[in-house]
Structure 1
Amino acid sequence: MKGENFRERLTTSRESNTADEVINQVEDVDFRELFLSEEYEAFFVEYTGDIKTTLKNIDYAKILSTEKFFGTIFVKKGMINTLVQSVPEITNLQKNFPYTLTPTAFEEDIVSSKGIEMGNVPYNGNGVVVGIISSGIDYLNPRFMKADGTTRILRIWDQSINDEKKYPNIIYGTEFTKADIDEAIKLNTSGQNPYEKVSHKDETGYGTAMAGIIGGRKLNEAEVFFSIAPKCDFAIVKLKKAKRSLLEANGICDTEASVYEGTDIAEAMSYLSSLQQQLNKPMVVYIPLGSNNGGHDGGTVLERYIDFLTERRGFATVASVGVQGTGETHTSGNLFETDGKGVIEVNIAEGEENLIISLFTIEPDRVSIGIIAPDGNGVEKIETPKNQGDSIFFNIGSSIITIQSYEEQKVIPDNRLDILIRNLTPGVWKITLKGEELLNGRYDAWMTQKNLLKKDTRFLKPDPFITVVTPSTARNMISTGFYNQETGELIEESGKGFTRDGRVKPDVITASYRIVTTGLENKLIVGSGSGMAGGILAGTVALMLQWGIVDGNNPNLFAQSLRNYIIGATTKDEGVNYPNPESGYGKLNIPKIFENLEKMKFKKPNQSNVVGDSRETAYIKDIYNVNENSNSGLFINIPQEILVRINNK
């Protein structure tokens, strides 16, 4: 079975990591120091062969293998191009993108009269672990405890706290176990300081609010509070803040938003993946984070790594598609339609100091660029870098421009130019394009996500499509947009698909307007927006894992089969064609999911359907009355790509 093959690879990679640890000790590599050092840049890479042997003779780079074929490579500043030319084992290289928490508004306000519709779903998340990668959790909140006062939080990895202790499961930061947290709760109950035992805190309350909507416990029946999976367990990763070097490399300064690093998210995924196998319990990981960097096609190394980890049963990830859906941070065009020439116009707001724009074209196209400042000065044609990771620098007036080149070998082989302009002058900047060699003609450009920009910094010809953020475009990621359940309308800023390689994202859209959750110190708050929608979907997946794996109704639940059931039960608006870029396959319908699952639980597949199909596929075809010779039924709800994946298990 396909899933078993990947499990064998995972087992092999864990054994390989153990060997790597021994080698690292011999080489006396302090990876904790490298993760924290401002002198080294971190890149997430895919590789083949014996990369460690190649790197033994290179003193400016070290690699930490996250899994076999994947790793974080630390390179002294300014040496990345030399490294790429010297190490042919590197097959794919990803810059360390800046990630921010999925925007969500929290307030003390009126709760929506149309909250989360659960119907008579009899599941509560018991036996399932929910991993959350964000700002942490208020572990003293009784909503995350059992009735006896013991915690439901099995682990906390706080990347932001570094002590002298060494932990077997992590390289940097501090790990707290359930026993540690229970002891801290006892200290708090007796009037002592719990943070002397567990010093972890969620300063912003964001992660606490996400945990609340997913699995907070109702303390009395009279409360308006409600969550999806109130008996689930939790595994929490609090991300450390991005290093100064990452912020500088992406032109980010003076932002109120918390910025995080892709390599830390990758380490969090590795940690939770290992924990899931150790606990031998099903787990869904909620990643309420997004970046506007990357090709928006699931091809970033982080997304490929997430896909790799989630190819096994009982381990799934959920994300929101973000809030870039107005298109102000994306533009596109086709040079074939404009005689091989194009212009990207960017309005720069007052006070915007720096801006980075990533321009993507498709191999083998060759496109030259020019840059014109608001005062008309500029460079008509720039000799762009030819080699992977190469950079060039020049000035236009007082502005400093850096252009760096990358070739991304993936489903869509890309040329990517990162254009960083420092010391901006406000007004309209122009990036001119000229097709030197064209086969495809398509180009796309994205700037940093808008919560890192001034309000009026935007593309003047916005494209609202392909605005789903990384990592929601990963192939195995279950992704959601968000809508106002009071009006039934999509919220305009909800990220829109499809992906750049033509896959359906978002998978669904989820209610997100004025939904009660818990804040710090058990204060009830009302949340609206993208993060809430993702939390509701993550809780739903937890219930599905309980139905399938904990209760034994379907032990073979993979990420894609979970996605099948979700999109097969969506609510569809009359007169709307599905799937579509705004709402995917429709609105999340939790009661309908479990109505369908219950049919699967008892219904035996039609024997005529079983031939050539997996048993799960046969169940699906019976329930949805699929006629493979027609264009009705399942074609809309479950794409052929998913049925193929099921049959290949």
Structure 2
Amino acid sequence: MRGGDVKIVSIIVVITVILLPFLTIHPTYPLHGSNPQHGNRYIVNIAEEDVDLALEELAGVGSVTSAIGEVVVVEADNREELEALPYVKSVRESRRFSVRLARSTVEIQSEYMNRLTSFNVNGVDGKGVIIGFIDTGIDYRHPDFYFPNGTSKILYIWDHTVDGNPPEGFDYGYECSREEIQRGTCPSTDTNGHGTHVAAIAASSGQAPGGYKGVAPAALIIFVKTGRPVCEDRSWAFDEAEILDGVYYIVEKAEEMGLPVVINLSLGTDIGGHDGNSALEKALDYLVEQGKAIIVAAAGNSASDERHIMGRLDAGETEISWVIPPRTTIFSIALSIPIDNNVNELKLIPPDGEEITIPRKVYAGASKKFNFSVDLYTFNARDVWILDFNISNSWFWQDSLWKLKIYANNTSNQYFHAWIESNTCSFVFERFQPGDGYVISDDYTVSIPASARYVIAVGAYVSRSKWVNYAGEEISIGKTVGEIESFSSRGPTLDGRVKPDITAPGSVIIAAKPLNIPLGPYDVSEYYTPRRGTSMASPHVAGVVALILQLEPNISYEEVVDILRKTAREDRFTGEIPEEGSPVWGWGKLNAKIGDVVRLYIKKHKNASGLIILNNNSIISLDKLGNEINIFTLKNRATNITIVLNNTFKEDVRYYSTPEKLTLQPGDIEYIEIKAQYRVRIYDPDNRLLKQLWVSENATINVEQLLNINDAKNFFVQHRIGGLVKFNEQLIKGKEIEITGPTDIKVILLDDYTNLFITFITLASLMVTAYIIHLRRKYTFIRNTNGDNAEDGR
């Protein structure tokens, strides 16, 4: 062999080995149909207005396990009987889902939040919040799932793969209580490691050697183990009905305990309309809209897998093709076609060249080498075709090329879309081939259920590109820290919504590994291992949501999303993200610094006591506070503060604050002063109460002005204050007095004859004036008379 060939082979081996721990492998049993552990499981959509009647009818045909809104999980022998019921809108078999596969807590700054202390919180670390997981299992013996006091963080484990102790309302699985977990007698294990890793990212207490804490290290855990291993235990597959049962179980448990809950779903499928209209998506949306839970899901790892195509259909025939790799027995293809194209027929051409016509209807078919079924629904003016195939071993030894001809009766300006997914155990995946009339695209690849309307979809970026294993060897994946992961699924959804909502660290994330899994060459220690994927990004966000719920347990989905979006980071990799979000980054990189401090400076009165009330629910005694108070509050949200002082213990003293109520934004600084007021009573010389009032401490009052004392005995005689006397004290000169405590005052009144004097002077003046006027008139008259007489004498 030539040297060049040796190098090429070496590179291929290294890349394969490095990627092995992170590959997402698809299921090796039917993508829909019966679970080997149960009978036939069906997802039934019922009429919303007739839920109770529909449930009663369904219970008569089969066993109802979960009912979430209009979506019901039913175990029954006969699908036709279910479809014949009057309140049933649709019935389909349960679909399969697959996993969506540092100290990243430093990257998102959650450690800062965990350490933060303030007036109203002692560490924002998820206290009093449940994080629910539906995954491959959890190693409950791992130290990271215990609090420092030795108490297990895990409240319940419901293991679908072990029988013997089903929860109330269910007929399968084994439910472990916290006590059983604490004793170490719970029979549940995690043989895959995915679930243990995911749960640790969100909620690890960091008690194992190495101390990798999760985002919300004080949060509680409810874990549902479901699905089963595939591909020699290298991956895992989940059943849709069991996922619904698990979500229902977690929500019910959280309600019983009266605790807020966020549920993490690091799983998904590409088969569906990517429009939020699948049964699972509608059930999750219902729970969120009802305020039962906040739900976070991995966006998916399909962006770079060549598993999505899009194009425009002209009238006539358009042919698409794809490759199914060896070691594949099941695959599915989903088509979303505008109804304007008026497609009534497809033609399938498998590798052997046989042509099979597929009409526009729901039905099951077969050929010599495979069986298939067709599901069909219309939503948002689009026909969604879902074709599921069970194939034999005939093509296991090589890639097989499949073709599908789409016959459109009309041309449409809208795009058609197609997605493919298989259960292959090969190290290459199913993939579309280039062709005329369509392109292979990484857009519209956000998986289901992350594409639901009210589920927070999480993409992944690189937060670490190398690590050191337990042997001291450095291992690198050759990525640039900060860039989006190439596999991280892109939006938007097919009905035009921006997804993902946010991106979080997804490569390479070091977190807990099950202790029962032998140490591998890429493990950091017997306690920790690295993994990649949006599966790892999603629990980062679930952990941050737990921090938010700790601060505001009743917060709505819309408010949570608003906080995540407005606190998300931009950098040179994201660029400036538009206000409406990005189909790659969502609204940016996750930032766990979801809050800020409001600073209050309080000048307290030495004798005052009372309470400070935050947002009408958090109450803390004023006696326990210093003069400077830091209040932690969620970013972009106002904090309402009310000061309530105790004024019941003394009759003549009361306290007040300025201001008494205030609304503050994060980062604000406010000054509050608490003062005393004293009761002041004013009496006349006969000890009759003239006035009483409250006066602030050290204020000066003018008694004469307060009393308007000029009451008259009569018009001519008025009163005035001649002095003030405190009871049992000496005379106070003047009319003003400083109030330093409760005060009783007697006024000394003097008779004031000013009005009489003024009246006398006025009257005298008037009399004199009148007399003078009289004299002037008299003088004028005499003078005029003498003049007339003189004239007569001449």
> Is TM more than 0.5 here?
yes
1:418 corresponds in structure 2 to 387
Native 8 Å contact 2:335 2:417 kept in 1: yes
Alpha carbons of structure 1 residues 372 and 620: separation in structure 2 relative to 1, 3 Å? farther
Q: Give deviations 1:408-453, integer Å, cap 9, x for gaps.
A: 5x55653424152624644432211111356675322222267766
CA distance in 2, matches of 1:228, 1:55: 42
Secondary structure of 2:370's partner? Answer: strand
Tell me which residue corresponds to 1:465. Answer: 443
Letter in 2 for 1:125: G
- Comparing 134-143 with 414-423, greater Cα deviation is found at 414-423
* TM-score for both structures, normalised by structure 1: 0.73
| Counterpart mapping for 1:232-631 below 5 A | 232-241=219-228, 256-313=234-291, 315-335=293-313, 338-363=314-339, 365-374=342-351, 377-379=353-355, 382-384=357-359, 386=361, 389-395=362-368, 399-408=369-378, 410-411=379-380, 414-420=383-389, 422-423=391-392, 425=395, 426-436=399-409, 442-448=415-421, 455-461=428-434, 462-485=440-463, 487-521=481-515, 523-549=527-553, 555=554, 557-573=555-571, 575-578=575-578, 579-591=581-593, 597-598=634-635, 600-602=637-639
2:128 corresponds to which residue? 127
Alpha-carbon distance between aligned partners in 1 of 2:232 and 2:196, rounded to the nearest angstrom: 26
Q: CA RMSD in A?
A: 3.3
- State the one-letter code of the partner of 2:418: A
Deviating more after overlay: 430-439 vs 320-329? 430-439
- The CA distance in 1 between the partners of 2:569 and 2:497, in whole Å, is 20
Task: Provide the secondary structure at the position in 2 that maps to 1:465.
Answer: coil
SS of aligned partner of 1:306: helix
1:51 alignment partner, one of 17, 39, 54: 54
Q: Is residue 228 from structure 1 mapped to residue 215 from structure 2 by the alignment?
A: yes
Indicate if the aligned counterparts of 2:345 and 2:360 stay in contact, CA closer than 8 A: no
Change (3 A) 1:440 1:272: farther
Name the structure 2 match of 1:91: 89
- The question of whether the paired residues in 2 share the 8 Å contact of 1:283 and 1:315 is answered with yes
Q: Report what 2:144 is aligned to.
A: 143
SS of residue paired to 2:297: strand
- 8 Å contact kept, 1:169–1:271: no
Deviations, residues 25-51 of structure 1 (Å, cap 9, x unaligned): xxxxxxxxx976665243343345323
CA 1:492–1:166 in 2, change beyond 3 Å: closer, same or farther?
A: closer
Task: Please state whether the residue corresponding to 2:582 is helix, strand or coil.
Answer: coil
2:186 corresponds in structure 1 to 198
Q: Aligned partners of 2:233, 2:214: CA distance in 1, in Å?
A: 32
Corresponding residue of 2:702: none
Task: Sort the Cα spacing of 1:538 and 1:155 in 2 relative to 1 into closer, same or farther, 3 A.
Answer: same
Q: Which runs of 4+ in 1 moved over 6 A?
A: 110-114, 252-255, 618-623
Report the AA paired with residue 634 of structure 2. Answer: L
Deviation track 1:337-387 (CA, whole Å, cap 9, x = no partner) reads x34431111123344444322223244632421223446x332x715153x
1:27 corresponds in structure 2 to none
1:272–1:334 Cα change, 3 Å: same
**Residues in 2 aligned to 1:415 and 1:585: alpha-carbon distance in whole angstroms:** 29
Compared with structure 1, are the counterparts of its residues 415 and 87 closer, same or farther at alpha carbon in structure 2 (3 Å cutoff)?
farther
When residues 382 and 88 of structure 1 are mapped into structure 2, their CA distance, relative to the original with a 3 A threshold, is farther
Inter-partner Cα distance in structure 2 for 1:215 and 1:37 = 31
Look up the equivalent residue of 1:302 and give its one-letter code.
L
Q: Which residue of 1 aligns with 2:198?
A: 210
> What amino acid is the match of 1:499?
T
Distance 1:545 1:439, change over 3 A: same
Q: CA deviation at 1:90?
A: 1.7
Alpha-carbon distance in structure 2 between the residues aligned to 1:127 and 1:255: 35
- Partners of 1:43 and 1:74 within 8 A in 2: no
Counterparts in 2 of 1:165-184, with a 5 A limit?
165=165, 167-182=167-182, 184=183
- Are the counterparts in 2 of residues 367 and 437 from structure 1 also a CA contact under 8 Å? no
Report SS of the residue matched to 2:302: coil
Distance in 1 of aligned mates of 2:70 and 2:504 = 35
Q: 1:363 to 1:350 in 2, by over 3 A?
A: same
Unpaired segments of 5 or more residues in structure 1?
1-33, 104-109, 185-193, 243-251, 550-554, 605-617, 624-649
The letter of the residue matching 1:343 is E
Aligned match of 1:14: none
CA–CA distance in structure 2, aligned partners of residues 535 and 291 of structure 1: 18
Q: Which amino acid aligns with 1:355?
A: F
Amino acid in the other structure paired with 1:179: E
Post-superposition offset of 1:464: 1.0
With normalisation by structure 2, the TM-score equals 0.61
| Alpha-carbon distance between aligned partners in 2 of 1:129 and 1:119, rounded to the nearest angstrom | 19
Distance 1:85 1:524 in 2: 49
Alignment CA distance shift 1:144-1:494 (3 Å): same
* Amino acid aligned to 1:51: A
Quick one: which amino acid aligns to residue 130 of structure 2? Answer: V
Residues 328 and 422 of structure 2 are in contact (CA less than 8 Å); yes or no, is this contact kept in structure 1? no
Alpha carbons of structure 1 residues 326 and 594: separation in structure 2 relative to 1, 3 Å: farther
* In 1: Cα distance, 2:166 partner to 2:59 partner: 25
| 3-state SS, counterpart of residue 342 of structure 1 | strand
How many residues in Structure 1 have an aligned counterpart in Structure 2?
A: 527
Question: Which amino acid in structure 1 is aligned with residue 156 of structure 2?
Answer: R
For residues 266 and 450 of structure 1, what CA distance do their matches in structure 2 show? 21
Flag the 1:94–1:503 CA change in 2: closer, same or farther, 3 A. farther
Q: 1:594 to 1:520 in 2, by over 3 A?
A: farther
Percent identical residues: 22
Q: Which residue of 2 aligns with 1:629?
A: none
User: What is the CA deviation profile of residues 79-101 of structure 1, one whole-angstrom value per residue up to 9, with x for unaligned ones?
Assistant: 53x34652342224443111112
Q: Could you tell which deviates more after superposition, 38-47 or 519-528?
A: 38-47
Q: Distance in 1 between matches of 2:667 and 2:292?
A: 24
Aligned to 2:159: 158
Deviations 1:270-301 (A, max 9, x none): 10111111111111111111112211111111
Q: Which has the higher contact order (CA 8 A, sep 6+)?
A: 1
AA paired with 1:238?
A: K
User: What amino acid is aligned across from residue 43 of structure 2 in structure 1?
Assistant: F
Please give the alpha-carbon distance, in whole angstroms, between the structure 2 residues aligned to 1:286 and 1:600.
Answer: 25
Distance 1:488 1:302, change over 3 A: same
Structure ranking higher in strand proportion? 2
Distance 1:72 1:538 in 2: 26
